[in-house]
Amino acid sequence: MDIRIINPNTTTSMTALIGRCAQAAAASGTRITAVSPKMGPASIESHYDEALSVPGILEEIRHGERDGADAYVIACFGDPGLYAARELAHGPVIGIAEAAMHMASLIGNSFSVVTTLERTVGMAWHLAERYGMRHACRNVHASDLPVLDLEKPGSNARQIILEACRSALAQDRSDCIVLGCAGMADLCEDLSAELHVPVIDGVVAAVKLVEALVGMRLSTSKRGDWARPLPKPYTGMLAPFALA
Amino acid sequence: MDIRIINPNTTTSMTALIGRCAQAAAASGTRITAVSPKMGPASIESHYDEALSVPGILEEIRHGERDGADAYVIACFGDPGLYAARELAHGPVIGIAEAAMHMASLIGNSFSVVTTLERTVGMAWHLAERYGMRHACRNVHASDLPVLDLEKPGSNARQIILEACRSALAQDRSDCIVLGCAGMADLCEDLSAELHVPVIDGVVAAVKLVEALVGMRLSTSKRGDWARPLPKPYTGMLAPFALA
Amino acid sequence: MDIRIINPNTTTSMTALIGRCAQAAAASGTRITAVSPKMGPASIESHYDEALSVPGILEEIRHGERDGADAYVIACFGDPGLYAARELAHGPVIGIAEAAMHMASLIGNSFSVVTTLERTVGMAWHLAERYGMRHACRNVHASDLPVLDLEKPGSNARQIILEACRSALAQDRSDCIVLGCAGMADLCEDLSAELHVPVIDGVVAAVKLVEALVGMRLSTSKRGDWARPLPKPYTGMLAPFALA
Amino acid sequence: MDIRIINPNTTTSMTALIGRCAQAAAASGTRITAVSPKMGPASIESHYDEALSVPGILEEIRHGERDGADAYVIACFGDPGLYAARELAHGPVIGIAEAAMHMASLIGNSFSVVTTLERTVGMAWHLAERYGMRHACRNVHASDLPVLDLEKPGSNARQIILEACRSALAQDRSDCIVLGCAGMADLCEDLSAELHVPVIDGVVAAVKLVEALVGMRLSTSKRGDWARPLPKPYTGMLAPFALA
Amino acid sequence: MDIRIINPNTTTSMTALIGRCAQAAAASGTRITAVSPKMGPASIESHYDEALSVPGILEEIRHGERDGADAYVIACFGDPGLYAARELAHGPVIGIAEAAMHMASLIGNSFSVVTTLERTVGMAWHLAERYGMRHACRNVHASDLPVLDLEKPGSNARQIILEACRSALAQDRSDCIVLGCAGMADLCEDLSAELHVPVIDGVVAAVKLVEALVGMRLSTSKRGDWARPLPKPYTGMLAPFALA
Amino acid sequence: MDIRIINPNTTTSMTALIGRCAQAAAASGTRITAVSPKMGPASIESHYDEALSVPGILEEIRHGERDGADAYVIACFGDPGLYAARELAHGPVIGIAEAAMHMASLIGNSFSVVTTLERTVGMAWHLAERYGMRHACRNVHASDLPVLDLEKPGSNARQIILEACRSALAQDRSDCIVLGCAGMADLCEDLSAELHVPVIDGVVAAVKLVEALVGMRLSTSKRGDWARPLPKPYTGMLAPFALA
């Protein structure tokens, strides 16, 4: 099974980290290809960044389709371009916020999300609402770490996230932690060991969910909202995005 | 007051129609500029089209900021790029679905949305949910008209929309109609006269709402989710979108 | 355009203040008439006061209809008698809580309400629920100021409200402030300057919304719940309220 | 135990009918006094009628307090003035819509409301929402009978209501019926016998609930929203409503 | 009227306490029989305990049916087996959480639940959600008292519960208290006297509600979800539970 | 990986069918053991049946723990005993309704449930509500087939279910089908081929989800509601259920 993981930002060191975490968790028959778009923002920390990550994501989906990928993971906690990607792809497409929240709701009565900057808190709540997870999501906590500091030596990222998790569990009386950024994937196991509660990383959760869906021979329904887009003219810089 | 109305598709005849309807409803001191993006889809009928309309919308917001526009209307019923646009603009930004639903809720206990293709029904429900309008939105009805047929002579668009409205009012026992596409703006008055209920077109609703906000000297709060995006590198075709 | 603003309490100095704020924000062609009922409570701080403000409000609506008013604003944050007023009037009728909450939701992802006495907090929540604004309303905060102290020299009202706003923003991590009493209308600009976030006063918001609706030639749908009341006998002191 | 039942309209034949049904269901030690206001509408079929029934209701509550009533029932399906009445009374106050919906939710997984005119349907939904009964209320059905026709010989009311109930049960797949008007109280037993499902009349439900509350020595909390109104001046025709 | 109160745990001293509180509140014509199951857990503090209390509860319902009981109360705040019991019984069946929450919502705008162990908090929230009481339930507070300590001399239970109530009222700004365990029934009056707000015990609330329902000749609808179970084979230890 | 699938009813032919479907979908390293309880109902078609299936389920969980099972599936669409089972087990426990609804929400914007008897419709809605899936669940449709008829030659079950699915898709305008009974597992592939939409069987969905969770080394959080039950005495027939 070929799973393409799209890191929606263009920071390739983060793409590599995501790829390693994904491969480590994948089933033996699963081949992971982690890619970054050829265009767009270096990190996603606003609706502006998120919106402009989408053309690059959709280009990668088209490459994946050309190459025969079986399924896709969109590895940014805002799940950018998820529904558009579903319209394009033959196989299933899962976002990491979606994956993490669903998985968390199966092993805890409630969860807390620990994310990066305060300004992304609203996005996380919108997704919880959209996915039917508002009842399970006790709160969303910002650690005030910029996304790219997660990888920066000396940023003390691990310690800051750990403290944010501890404080979230205490305040929210919640059962588990959802990590709110793909760049935290490599901290997951360690945090869980320290906190003695399940910690859910969306990258791995999404890999396992698409493996499950492909294993069930299920993919996005083409009957309704997510049918293949109608062909039509596209102009300007985006002309190559026109579908046949 | 300078209001820039962005028709997110690249069909300039629709942009002109939208501009005429907007200008007709604007206050005497309001100057309307209706624009289309320089890139993107000819019409918006999928999440794919919607996602790829956003770079062009954001470019127009940047042009508007350069030119000193006071406020913006995004004139597609999916409200594409609304939150990203709010992050960029100094003045208020309103989407037409948002505008129409809020206005409808002030003059009726409930409304029915009449839209174009069946596949856009889910998008309209997502917006109703997001804006707190699920209690007021009785249902969303597809007329099965493609967006660009609205302008096509011989498409019988007016009659098809009228019948869809009649049937929506009867089925939903609702108090008024919300038109689910910017391309229906010119039908509004006529439909209302035939149906004897208020018919709300989002283009005009959004123009009046931004006039109201500017009149109150109110604009998007920069304290939270919609603060100005942080500067960062953008690469590839989207490099020009990097903010200083 | 003739807008009648009804201050539901009988304190005429507050009516004058409301009228001044409304006129200052109105469009050039708008004529504001601010009135108080000829009967009822000096201030509204309970469901009892609110219920007994309604006959006076409805009498003012009837006077407005006689005089050809184009639209109405009910200037008390409980929006008393709103639906009954809509049944009576030809033009649109807007309550200030409704107006402020809708406007706030267009410029912020969330808002905090700052109101007068603790006992009015529940009313504000009921309205947020009714208008579909529970998702946007982070909390309602009492300043513990009685309504009429807002105008009393030496009550320190401005400072008390300012502190309540500051504390609300900090606790709620919200994007803007909604003022929970018509008597705070004159503080709005000043508070916004100090707090560096949008502060929304419902009186001005409602004036701009009815201007917008009248500009769109929209009024309350007479198809459903808010059709004109059926004629019928009324007895006792309320006999004059019988409609022909 | 002295229970005062207030029929909010001034039609005394309906008051007598309500009193008879209430007394028939009351416990042996309960004394029922059914009263009509001295002012207000002959029937309640709009928000306007409802709002103007409230002064008369509150006057009756004050008479009840003077006379030492133990509890009150407000016998109109819109529950007019309920919260204001709670502020005034020492004993509990229950509305018949509230009573019927709560009782129905204890004996069925879902209920259908059968009411009078179409225009009252929205009011019933607002109450279901307010009381937390939206999940249980499958739908609200108008029988198109004006309130006072319920008592009119030759109106065929019994048959029309029966048919409306049958059709509601079939359409809604619901477990029981809630009668949406106090004037239907005397039909309850007969309808239940014909339909073979529980039929809940709010008048009797409210009598039994206030008996239960008084039996538990419980009454409205005076800590929050429903504390006694503050004394203040009232003017004009409503001056007598000022509280000491 | 014969009311059977089933204490779902097998601790007979608690059954006796529940019986005394119930009888003290019952109407003069009501005969209370408080029973414990012949099988199951000594106290209910987990979903496991709760699930295994149900066979014993259902056996008691069958005994009640054999003996001609008119109605049933399930006296554990998790309302175990409530819907199964309704399928079996001819008369109404009420759980104490359900009873307490409904009664609380009639006398306060909001309530706080004070319960035993932290691990039962989630169950209470699930019930609040199920019964439509999420809007009224401000929060659920654990006192960290194990159930059987409520009766243990020297456990200081009364003081611990009192403090938990005080703190709940202060934190939640709620109007009344719902006691979250049948074993607290005897503290109700005393707590109310100290706290000056209504305190609702579910045992007494349920007794009064079933008296009310029986007085209205209402019982569980047999039309839908709660129809009598179909006869079918049961095997093993549970073979005696097969219905004819 | 050892997965124990518990068919909560005692009909072993259905257990065998479930086991075959599960094994066919399992990963190569997964060993499926399908078991039936030694006690309880032959089929589950009421809350009574469901409640009495739980002791047998919990006994099987204890056997599984003794034998070192890695995870559990509860294979009845009511998800009986799910939370109690989670308290007992070291590995994850998933119900098939939960599994099917979550999976459906990842591949469709909405789903329809097709189930057996009308009286189970309410249970399915309760679960949709509990799992946050009310927004995605368009409706629940009864096929009026008793559970055990699914396996009965000559019952025409396949055709009846197919028709129910077709009619559900047409009425609900939904994107996919969720099968509402474990006994339908073997029809899944065939139905999907005929209907041209994804059809989700909960048995297979649950197997793939527990494989995913075990693959992520995640299990039920023991911090909150689902901590291991406290040891305590159990009496009577259920004494063997006491935990050490």
Taking only the tens of pLDDT, chain E with its 244 residues reads 999 999 999 999 999 999 999 999 999 999 999 999 999 999 999 999 999 999 999 999 999 999 999 999 999 999 999 999 999 999 999 999 999 999 999 999 999 999 999 999 999 999 999 999 999 999 999 999 988 888 888 889 999 999 999 999 999 999 999 999 999 999 999 999 999 999 999 999 999 999 999 999 999 999 988 999 999 999 999 999 999 8
Chains that touch C (3 or more CB pairs under 8 A): A, B, D, E
Confidence grade of residue C147 (pLDDT, cut at 50, 70, 90):
confident
**E119 in contact with F, Cβ within 8 Å:** yes
> Residue F228 gets which letter from DSSP?
P
Say whether D42 and C235 touch across the interface (CB within 8 A): yes
pLDDT tens-digit readout, F199-215? 999 999 999 999 999 99
**E218 in contact with F, Cβ within 8 Å:** no
- Same domain for D90 and D111, yes or no, is no
- Same domain for B79 and B11, yes or no, is yes
Say yes or no to pLDDT of F147 above 90.
no
Instruction: Note which residues in 141-180 of chain A have CB less than 8 A from chain B.
Output: 146
CA distance C160 to B90: 30
DSSP-assigned states of every residue in C79-121: -TTHHHHHHH-SS-EEEHHHHHHHHHHHH-S-EEEEES-GGGH
- Same domain for E62 and E127, yes or no, is no
- Nearest C-alpha neighbor of B57 from the set B4, B110, B133: B4
Say yes or no to pLDDT of C154 above 90.
no
| CATH number of F49's domain | 3.40.50.12500
Query: Number of helices (H) and strands (E), helices first, in chain F?
Result: 8, 10
- Same domain for B108 and B36, yes or no, is no
At F187 the pLDDT is 94
The helix-helix angle for D96-107 and E96-107 (nearest 10°) equals: 170
Confidence grade of residue C118 (pLDDT, cut at 50, 70, 90):
very high
Say yes or no to pLDDT of C155 above 90.
no
In angstroms, what CA-CA distances link E141 with D224, E122, E155, E199?
Answer: 20, 10, 19, 14
Give the number of B-C residue pairs with CB atoms closer than 8 Å.
140
ipTM of this model? 0.96
Q: Which two tokens stand for residue E21?
A: 């509180």
CA distance B209 to D27: 58
Query: Residue B234, CB half-sphere, CA atoms under 13 Å: how many?
Result: 24
Say whether C221 and B175 touch across the interface (CB within 8 A): yes
At B151 the pLDDT is 83
Say whether E110 and C122 touch across the interface (CB within 8 A): yes
Query: Which residue of chain A comes nearest to C174, CA vs CA?
Result: A122
At A147 the pLDDT is 86
CA distance A50 to F87: 40
Query: Which residue of chain C comes nearest to E136, CA vs CA?
Result: C122
Confidence grade of residue C152 (pLDDT, cut at 50, 70, 90):
confident
Say yes or no to pLDDT of F244 above 90.
no
CA distance E233 to E238: 10
Query: Which residue of chain F comes nearest to E224, CA vs CA?
Result: F119
- Same domain for C13 and C61, yes or no, is yes
Contacts of E132 in chain F (CB under 8 A): none
At F76 the pLDDT is 97
- Cβ neighbours around B112 below 10 Å, total: 27
Among candidates D198, D212, D218 on the partner chain, residue whose Cβ is nearest the Cβ of E198: D218
Contacts of A122 in chain C (CB under 8 A): 109-110
Say yes or no to pLDDT of A243 above 90.
yes
Say whether F50 and E234 touch across the interface (CB within 8 A): no
Confidence grade of residue F152 (pLDDT, cut at 50, 70, 90):
confident
- Same domain for A80 and A126, yes or no, is no
Say whether D173 and F129 touch across the interface (CB within 8 A): no
Distance from CA of F74 to the nearest CA of B (A): 33
Distance from CA of F238 to the nearest CA of E (A): 5
- Terminal Cα distance for chain D, rounded: 27
- Same domain for D76 and D118, yes or no, is no
CA distance C228 to F157: 55
At E153 the pLDDT is 84
Query: Which residue of chain A comes nearest to B41, CA vs CA?
Result: A234
- Same domain for B92 and B208, yes or no, is yes
Q: Which two tokens stand for residue D22?
A: 């209430």
Distance from CA of A171 to the nearest CA of F (A): 13
Among candidates B106, B215, B223 on the partner chain, residue whose Cβ is nearest the Cβ of C213: B106
- Cβ neighbours around E171 below 10 Å, total: 12
The CA-based angle C42-C44-C46, given to 5 degrees, is 130
Under 8 Å between Cβ of C164 and C141 = yes
At F224 the pLDDT is 86
Mean pLDDT of all residues in chain A? 96
Q: Which two tokens stand for residue A213?
A: 């869906």
Under 8 Å between Cβ of C157 and C149 = yes
Say whether B173 and D121 touch across the interface (CB within 8 A): yes
**F129 in contact with D, Cβ within 8 Å:** yes
- Same domain for B56 and B128, yes or no, is no
DSSP bridge partners of E112: E139, E177
Phi/psi at B48 (5° precision): -65, -50
**D122 in contact with B, Cβ within 8 Å:** yes
Among candidates C92, C200, C217 on the partner chain, residue whose Cβ is nearest the Cβ of B218: C200
Under 8 Å between Cβ of D98 and E211 = no
Which stretch of C176-185, F122-131, F142-151 has the lowest confidence by average pLDDT? F142-151
**B132 in contact with F, Cβ within 8 Å:** no
Under 8 Å between Cβ of D127 and E233 = no
Distance from CA of A135 to the nearest CA of E (A): 10
- Picking from E12, E15, E52 by the largest number of F CB atoms within 10 A of its own CB, the best residue to mutate is E52
The helix-helix angle for E202-215 and E12-25 (nearest 10°) equals: 50
CA distance E26 to E32: 8
DSSP-assigned states of every residue in F179-218: E--GGGGGGHHHHHHHHTS-EE-HHHHHHHHHHHHHHTT-
Distance from CA of F236 to the nearest CA of A (A): 32
Contacts of D129 in chain B (CB under 8 A): 135
What residue has token string 């309550």? C95
Query: Which residue of chain F comes nearest to A215, CA vs CA?
Result: F25
CA B146 and chain centroid, separation? 17
Helix (H, G, I), strand (E, B) or coil at B45: coil
Stretches in chain D below the pLDDT threshold 50: none
Q: Which two tokens stand for residue E156?
A: 């200081």
In angstroms, what CA-CA distances link B107 with B179, B187, C91, C214, D219?
Answer: 15, 19, 10, 11, 38
**A87 in contact with F, Cβ within 8 Å:** no
At B243 the pLDDT is 95
- Same domain for A214 and A170, yes or no, is no
**C89 in contact with D, Cβ within 8 Å:** no
> Residue B225 gets which letter from DSSP?
T
Phi/psi at A127 (5° precision): -70, -40
pLDDT tens-digit readout, A91-143? 999 999 999 999 999 999 999 999 999 999 999 999 999 999 999 999 999 99
Percent of chain B with pLDDT over 70: 100
Under 8 Å between Cβ of D211 and D22 = no
Distance from CA of A122 to the nearest CA of C (A): 7
User: Residues near A97 by Cβ (< 8 Å), separated by ≥ 6?
Assistant: A77, A78, A79, A124, A127, A131, A180, A202
Say yes or no to pLDDT of B114 above 90.
yes
Say whether A47 and B237 touch across the interface (CB within 8 A): no
Confidence grade of residue C174 (pLDDT, cut at 50, 70, 90):
very high
> Residue D91 gets which letter from DSSP?
S
- Terminal Cα distance for chain C, rounded: 27
- Nearest C-alpha neighbor of F176 from the set F236, F85, F105, F90: F105
pLDDT tens-digit readout, B23-70? 999 999 999 999 999 999 999 999 999 999 999 999 999 999 999 999
In angstroms, what CA-CA distances link C89 with C72, C73, C92?
Answer: 8, 11, 7
Contacts of F173 in chain B (CB under 8 A): 118, 121
- Same domain for F89 and F78, yes or no, is yes
Distance from CA of A196 to the nearest CA of E (A): 17
Pairing outcome for strands C176-179 and C111-115? parallel
**C118 in contact with E, Cβ within 8 Å:** yes
- Same domain for A12 and A89, yes or no, is yes
Q: Decide: E and B in contact? Rule: 3+ Cβ pairs under 8 Å.
A: no
**In terms of DSSP H, where are the helices of chain A?**
12-25, 47-67, 82-88, 96-107, 121-130, 157-172, 188-195, 202-215
pLDDT tens-digit readout, B131-184? 999 999 999 999 999 988 988 888 899 999 999 999 999 999 999 999 999 999
Domain around C170: 98-201
Report the 3 state secondary structure along E4-53.
Answer: EEECCCCCHHHHHHHHHHHHHHCCCCCEEEEECCCCEECCCCCHHHHHHH
Query: Which residue of chain A comes nearest to B89, CA vs CA?
Result: A48
pLDDT tens-digit readout, C35-57? 999 999 999 999 999 999 999 99
Torsion of CA C136, C138, C143, C149, to 10 degrees: 10
How many domains is chain C built from? Answer: 2
CA distance C153 to B193: 53
User: Residues near A48 by Cβ (< 8 Å), separated by ≥ 6?
Assistant: B58, B84, B87, B88, B229, B243
Can you point out the beta strands (E) in C1-70? 2-6, 31-35, 40-41
At F177 the pLDDT is 98
Under 8 Å between Cβ of F17 and F186 = yes
At F118 the pLDDT is 93
pLDDT tens-digit readout, C70-91? 999 999 999 999 999 999 999 9
Helix (H, G, I), strand (E, B) or coil at F169: helix
Distance from CA of A138 to the nearest CA of E (A): 12
Phi/psi at F223 (5° precision): -85, -30
pLDDT tens-digit readout, F26-83? 999 999 999 999 999 999 999 999 999 999 999 999 999 999 999 999 999 999 999 9
